[in-house]
Amino acid sequence: MLAGLLEAHGYEVTTRPQAKGTTALLMQDPHDVVILDLNMPGLAGDGLLRALEKNAKMGFHMPAVILHSALPVEQVEKVAAEGNALGIIPKGDARNFVEKFETLLAKGRVP
């Protein structure tokens, strides 16, 4: 659903059903930004965010935006800060998603 919203606003979108294997894929085919869910099967989104941050320390930077739903906001904010995420967007807010996403992109100066 969110992929369709982004595509309707002119974004090119790649989706993955799980985080496992995504870091290697992103190293081979870098993207401008990664949107991740903290509740993904296999490797949770926070694990992917830590892997992206580790790669950023090696000079391979890829900004991330975190989606969340069931986790306490404080926990999500802590994960976002530790992983240098651009920010967080509540999962159920599809109506305002693109606006919030673009605000975070502008904040992080992502193309």
Kindly state the average pLDDT of the residues 51-61: 62
Task: Give the span between the Cα atoms of 55 and 62, in whole angstroms.
Answer: 9
pLDDT reading at 110 higher than 60 = no
Average pLDDT, the chain: 77
Give the closest residue to 34 by CA, choosing from 60, 59, 57.
60
The whole-model pTM stands at: 0.74
- Band of residue 25 on the pLDDT scale cut at 50, 70, 90: confident
In this predicted structure, the answer to whether residue 68 has a pLDDT above a threshold of 80 is no
Q: Domains (ranges, CATH) in the chain?
A: 2-105 (3.40.50.2300)
> In the predicted model, what is the mean pLDDT of residues 48-69?
66
